[in-house]
């Protein structure tokens, strides 16, 4: 069935408020690789509440003991802004709502708001549930009426609504009407399979708003890479409730990413959804929850990613230095992010001058030192160096080349021995000789691997001379083979991430020997801290 494309119903309403429901703890917890503990979930609740999210969907208390325990402990948290939401399905078929254990557990969770999902696609009703269309309508009606009697605010998640509407619009709309008449406070339209496009959502919402009066919400999945655009279009058409997850977590391809939706609604559509001061905490929120989830955060994630406002091409940097909006769609600081200029063989003098200024080094455009640095940079990148993730190494390179940095220690030699006997664990020992302040020192270290052993040996000497090194922790170690066709003789690039609880930095080393490459990155990490 085809429909004409409806005109956009609302845009730029200054008094409009979109309320956000975060389902990181329920839908997001279904991400491969995520396993939140109860304590993890409680931490995330506090973070979301502090940020200003309106609803926090905590889980399905009828599905597992962990969520039951979570809702018990969550009662002890005094939320400043958010409402905690418990999630469940409608009553089961051929079971009275008063006798349904899932509904009883949902009520026992004692949250002010509940979210109920019900089928709105006739195909799912008849083929998945194996019941009649009328019985499904009764399940929706009975469940909502029962929950309203218990004083709950009810969000009705119309599961598979857009697919259902495309197949049988009359029945999909009837499900919404039954939910509305039973007292549902919000009708949330779900693109459960993530297959809808923004113009289809606009088209269908034109029909929905003619049929129901209750507030409408949107819950989109990202299987077609359209969850954010679908959510924004729904808001533009009049939806005042948006569901999603931090960093787009969710099963399959994930849910609509609130880290993109929030600034789009707030900054680009000029519709209120979060307080202005809180928006600046978006990047920190994204990174904090990624840490709790123990998943790497994509550097290229819009708005909050480390590379979201990074500039590498010399022409780009030259323009951004004059007028930032030439290559930036918003001011990075609005979402708590920052502009980054990276350096590479593609970079021009503009990049180098920008970084030198950032490092507090006086560098002139036409100076011999500038030309020498550009040449060194291009030669090193040809060898396989990459400074986007090793900016600390680049800062050291600049200062060494300009003679403004003296090395705090110098390597004389090192030796690493690895022994394995039968099925026993590896024994790795390192011996190192270095020169510090004109004195020669030797030490030994044992570690889980060659780099750990070298680090231990180096620290035995340096921590007595430079106590601040005790603060440095190596947080990540990455090895990349650069020319795999060379086999075991291939050149490798090693990236070492370090932290001292105040700052994070990355260093890089390249060699045909992985231990040598690792030493170069490790040495730079320690030297950067001492600088």
Query: Would you kindly state where each structural domain of the chain is located, as residue ranges?
Result: 19-274, 310-401, 409-465
- CA dist., res. 281 & res. 494, Å (int): 32
Assign residue 485 a region (left: φ > 0; alpha: ψ between -120 and 50; beta: otherwise): alpha
Give the model's pLDDT for residue 1.
40
- CA dist., res. 299 & res. 337, Å (int): 12
- CA dist., res. 481 & res. 232, Å (int): 41
Using the predicted structure, report yes or no on whether residue 5 has a pLDDT greater than 80: no
More confident residue, 345 or 524: 524
Query: What does the block give as tokens for 120?
Result: 């709105």
With tokens 């340096």, the residue in question is 462
**What is the secondary structure of 497-522 as a DSSP string?**
EEE-SS-EEEEEEEESSHHHHHHHHH
Mean pLDDT for 384-394 is 80
Fold match flag (19-274 vs 409-465): no
Nearest to 187 by CA among 197, 200, 174, 198: 174
Mean pLDDT for 400-424 is 86
Residue 88: enclosing H or E segment and its boundaries?
strand 83-89
**Residue 27 dihedral angles phi and psi, to the nearest 5°:** -65, -40
More confident residue, 127 or 391: 127
- CA dist., res. 396 & res. 390, Å (int): 10
Give the model's pLDDT for residue 2.
47
- CA dist., res. 212 & res. 447, Å (int): 67
Q: 259 by DSSP, 3-state: which?
A: helix
More confident residue, 414 or 394: 414
Which class would CATH give 19-274? alpha beta
Nearest to 28 by CA among 40, 13, 15: 40
List of E strands, 235-370: 241-244, 310-311, 340-341
Query: What does the block give as tokens for 235?
Result: 């808001």
Query: What does the block give as tokens for 315?
Result: 């022409």
The pairs formed by 343-347 with CB atoms below 8 angstroms and a separation of 24 or more are 343/312, 343/377, 343/387, 343/394, 344/312, 344/377, 344/381, 344/386, 344/387, 344/388, 345/377, 345/378, 345/381, 345/382, 346/312, 346/313, 346/314, 347/312, 347/313, 347/314, 347/317, 347/377
Maximum mean pLDDT: which of 256-260, 443-447, 484-488? 256-260
Mean pLDDT lowest for which of 134-143, 164-173, 519-528?
519-528
Give the model's pLDDT for residue 486.
56
Residue 84: enclosing H or E segment and its boundaries?
strand 83-89
Exposure b/e, 421-443, CB count within 10 A at least 16 = b: eeeeeeebbbbbebebeeeebeb
Domain 409-465 has CATH 3.40.50.410: no
More confident residue, 437 or 339: 437
């Amino acid at each position: 069935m085809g429909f004409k494309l409806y005109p956009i119903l609302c845009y730029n309403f200054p008094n409009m408020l979109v309320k956000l429901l975060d389902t990181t703890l329920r839908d997001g917890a279904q991400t491969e690789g995520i396993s939140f503990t109860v304590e993890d979930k409680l931490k995330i609740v506090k973070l979301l509440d502090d940020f200003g999210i309106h609803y926090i969907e905590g889980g399905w208390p009828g599905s597992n003991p962990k969520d039951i325990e979570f809702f018990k402990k969550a009662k002890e948290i005094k939320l400043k802004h958010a409402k905690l939401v418990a999630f469940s399905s409608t009553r089961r078929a051929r079971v009275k709502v008063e006798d349904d254990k899932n509904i009883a557990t949902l009520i026992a969770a004692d949250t002010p708001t509940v979210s109920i999902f019900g089928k709105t696609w006739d195909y799912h009703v008849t083929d998945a549930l194996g019941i009649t269309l009328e019985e499904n309508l009764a399940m929706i009606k009975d469940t909502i009426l029962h929950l309203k009697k218990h004083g709950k605010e009810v969000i009705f998640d119309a599961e598979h609504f857009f697919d259902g509407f495309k197949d049988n619009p009359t029945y999909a709309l009837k499900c919404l009407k039954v939910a509305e008449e039973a007292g549902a406070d919000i009708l949330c339209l779900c693109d459960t399979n993530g297959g809808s496009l923004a113009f289809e959502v606009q088209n269908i919402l034109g029909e929905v708003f003619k049929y129901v009066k209750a507030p409408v919400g949107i819950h989109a999945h990202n299987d077609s890479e359209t969850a954010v655009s679908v959510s924004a279009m729904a808001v533009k058409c009049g939806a005042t409730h948006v569901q999603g997850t931090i960093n787009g977590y969710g099963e399959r391809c994930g849910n609509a990413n609130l880290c993109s939706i929030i600034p789009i609604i707030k900054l680009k559509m000029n519709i209120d959804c979060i307080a202005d001061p809180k928006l600046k905490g978006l990047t920190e929120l994204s990174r904090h929850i990624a840490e709790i989830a123990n998943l790497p955060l994509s550097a290229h994630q819009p708005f909050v990613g480390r590379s979201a406002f990074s500039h590498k091409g010399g022409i780009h940097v030259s323009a951004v230095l004059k007028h930032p909006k030439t290559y930036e769609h918003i001011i990075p600081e609005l979402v708590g992010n920052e502009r980054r200029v990276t350096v590479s063989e593609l970079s021009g003098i503009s990049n180098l001058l920008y970084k030198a200024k950032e490092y507090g080094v006086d560098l002139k455009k036409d100076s011999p030192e500038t030309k020498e640095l550009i040449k060194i940079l291009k030669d090193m990148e040809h060898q396989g160096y990459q400074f986007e993730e090793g900016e600390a190494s680049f800062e050291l390179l600049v200062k060494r080349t300009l003679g403004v940095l003296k090395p705090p220690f110098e390597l004389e030699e090192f030796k690493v021995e690895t022994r394995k006997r039968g099925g026993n664990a590896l024994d790795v020992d390192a011996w190192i000789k270095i020169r510090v302040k004109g004195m020669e020192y030797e030490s030994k270290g044992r570690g889980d691997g060659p780099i750990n052993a070298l680090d231990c040996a180096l620290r035995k000497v340096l921590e007595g001379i430079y106590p601040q090194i005790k603060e440095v922790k190596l947080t990540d170690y990455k090895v990349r083979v650069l020319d795999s066709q060379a086999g075991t003789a291939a050149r490798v690039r090693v990236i070492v991430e370090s932290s001292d609880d105040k700052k994070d930095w990355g260093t890089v080393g390249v060699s045909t020997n992985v231990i040598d490459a690792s030493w170069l990155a490790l040495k730079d990490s320690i030297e950067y801290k001492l600088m």
